[in-house]
Amino acid sequence: MATIIDGKTLAQKIRSNLKLECEELKKNGINPKLAVILVGDDSASKVYVRNKNKACEDVGIEFEEYLLDSSITQEKLIDLINVLNYKKDIHGILLQSPIPRHLDINEAFRTILPEKDVDGFNPLNVGKLALNQDTFVSCTPYGIMKMLEEYGIDLNGKNVTIIGRSNIVGKPLIQCCLNKDATVTICHSRTKNLKEHTINADIVIAAVGKAKFITEDMIKNGAVIIDVGINRDENGKLVGDVDFENVVNKASYITPVPGGVGPMTVAMLMNNVIKAASKLYK
């Protein structure tokens, strides 16, 4: 039976420490503040923004939300980002994705100043991660690395298979794992014979968005399983990309859904906002 990696408890521990850091910053005249831009009325995005707002309240970070109509032009979106870039009381800017298809999210990410890019999507920060330099790391990969560190799971020399190549999770995770001296295999929708890549992996990280996609026969005994997926099964129950009930008997460590990666993503966002504010005193 695998050890359950409790992301919820670890996230709360991190947020408690960040609250102390936030209080210290305020004593020095800095009030950490996050600005979140939400374009349109995507219901899932609204939930995510609400959770981020609650986390900010918990830590002591001020929160500003900018709700934009789904018909907004690219020019007006960029104009808003530029306004926030130069507001001295704003330390972090987050553009909640997805955004309407007529908008260019990459231009938006490029426009957010690197020092306020708490989501780690500005190309400069992406490049710094590739060079193993200090930077803002995308929050989900950062949370995963923190969980592995907390549970003493060393990546040095380990075979890591990542399933999913998104700019938000898969691609930055490659760099995070390489920076810890892992041997990394990246799999995706065009990968042939996926099982051949997962069965020999010491660590499998699933981020494909398919309920119970990773089954017991796809992993080796004692593998570490990190489940990034958030899906609904046929009964409407929240489940991950991993068939948890069966895989838990074969893995050495495994993250649950919910209560695994999700809370850590939000905690790392809070961490990045505090880091951005702290840079004013370094």
pLDDT at 282 over 60: no
Please state the domain extents for the chain: 29-114, 139-262
- The model's confidence at residue 279, banded by pLDDT at 50, 70 and 90, is confident
Condensed to tens digits (0 to 9), the pLDDT of residues 144-189 reads 999 999 999 999 999 999 999 999 999 999 999 999 999 999 999 9
Q: Residue 95: its pLDDT value, please?
A: 97
C-alpha span between 100 and 75 (Å, rounded) = 14
- The model's confidence at residue 44, banded by pLDDT at 50, 70 and 90, is confident
**Average pLDDT in the chain:** 96
Q: Do domains 29-114 and 139-262 have the same CATH topology?
A: yes
- Over range 201-213, report the average pLDDT: 96
Which superfamily does 139-262 belong to?
NAD(P)-binding Rossmann-like Domain (3.40.50.720)
Which residues are CB-contacts of 200 (< 8 A; sequence separation ≥ 6)?
159, 220
C-alpha span between 62 and 37 (Å, rounded) = 14
Global pTM? 0.96
Condensed to tens digits (0 to 9), the pLDDT of residues 55-112 reads 999 999 999 999 999 999 999 999 999 999 999 999 999 999 999 999 999 999 999 9
CATH level 3 topology of 29-114: Rossmann fold (3.40.50)
What is the chain's length? 282
Please tell me which residue, 42 or 253, carries the higher pLDDT value.
253
Q: Report, as residue numbers or ranges, the catalytic residues.
A: 52, 96, 119
For the chain, state the CA radius of gyration: 19
